[in-house]
Amino acid sequence: MNESVFVKKTMDFSKKFCCRFIKKIYAFDELASTNLTAKELALHGSEEGTIVIAQTQRQGRGRFDRTWQSPKGGVYLSIILRPRTPIEKTSLLPFVAALAVTKAVLSYGIPARIKWPNDVLVHGKKIAGILLESETSGITVPYVVVGIGINLNTPLSKLDVDIRKRSTSLRKEHGASIKYYEFLDTLFQHFDRCYQLFSAGNFEQIIDEWKQHSDTLGKTIRVQTTKDMVQGTAIAIDQSGFLLIKTKEGNLIRVVSGDCIDFDDL
């Protein structure tokens, strides 16, 4: 272990969260990346429900190797999961996380929507991002780290201009600062409920709830996959969470993962 033992833990976690799911919280003022520390902890045997939180990150990581800028005021945390569901169902975990974050934001009266697979948007601007990292070993997944970054009271002026114009924060949308620990408590409760659905095998309900909050279905979109660019109308997501796109030629394309842009953004 490197940073986990050397960095001073000074955040106040004397508060008890009302959530059975949480087993242990490692809280830091600063880390390179909560995902990196959580992965180390997972590799050293930390149990499901272990959470790593930092006030800021020096090297916050986003999807597609992007940087996740992490100034003070935001929420940066990673949750260790050890799913016991069949391996093919782990593709639904991004949906579980996106639902939990969306419900937490909605509980503040902020109209959050989900862009496939797991960006959380408000009025088309990003308020939260999720990065899942896992290890597979044969037919099992020993751990999944769910990294969540939320623009809570994030000073948007601290973000680079190109990111700032596509971002918003709970403070901006709510018109006042949000209490950090109160928000975490809300988020953990929603995560607990959504993950319980997953663990109990209620996969259809997860998909159905995700659809209710979708900002993608029915829209004309463009998805950059690792191989190519797919363009068309997002017509459905299937039981694995894969996106079905109907091209203008009438072909149906099933997209497993990719960066989704809707045409309003172009």
The contact set with ligand BTN (CB under 6 A) reads 33-35, 57, 60-63, 66, 68, 76-78, 119, 129-131, 147-149
CA–CA distance, 25 with 181 (Å, rounded to integer): 13
Nearer to ligand BTN, 119 or 173 (CB): 119
Q: 246 or 256, CB closer to ligand BTN? A: 256
What is the nearest approach in angstroms of ligand BTN to the Cβ of residue 36?
7
Supply the minimum distance, in Å, between the C-beta of residue 248 and ligand BTN: 28
Query: Least distance to ligand BTN from the beta carbon of 88, Å?
Result: 23
Nearest CB to ligand BTN, comparing residues 21 and 251: 21
> What is the smallest separation between the CB atom of 229 and ligand BTN, expressed in angstroms?
19
Sign of the dihedral through C-alpha 80, 258, 234, 101: positive
Residue nearest to ligand BTN as judged by C-beta position: 129
Q: Which of 56, 77, 43, 84 is nearest to 159 (CA)?
A: 56
Who's near 102: CB < 8 A, 6+ residues apart?
Answer: 112, 113, 114, 120, 213
By CB neighbour count within 10 A (0-12 exposed, 13-18 middle, 19+ buried), where does 48 fall?
middle
Partners of residue 132 on adjacent β-strands:
146
3-state helix, strand, coil in the chain (%, to 5): 30, 35, 35
**CB nearer to ligand BTN: pick between 43 and 235:** 43
Report the residue number, 28 or 203, with the smaller CB distance to ligand BTN: 28
- Residue 211 is classified by DSSP as H
Residue 188 Cβ vs ligand BTN, minimum distance, rounded to whole Å: 15
CA distance 219 to 264: 9
CB of 261 to ligand BTN, least distance (A): 13
User: Are the CB atoms for 145 and 76 separated by under 8 Å?
Assistant: no
Residue 35 CB, shortest distance to ligand BTN, in Å, is 4
Task: Count the neighbouring beta carbons within 10 Å of the beta carbon of residue 109.
Answer: 8
**Cβ(38)–Cβ(66) below 8 Å:** no
Pick between residue 76 and residue 95 the one whose CB is nearest to ligand BTN. Answer: 76
By C-beta, is 48 or 133 nearer to ligand BTN?
A: 133
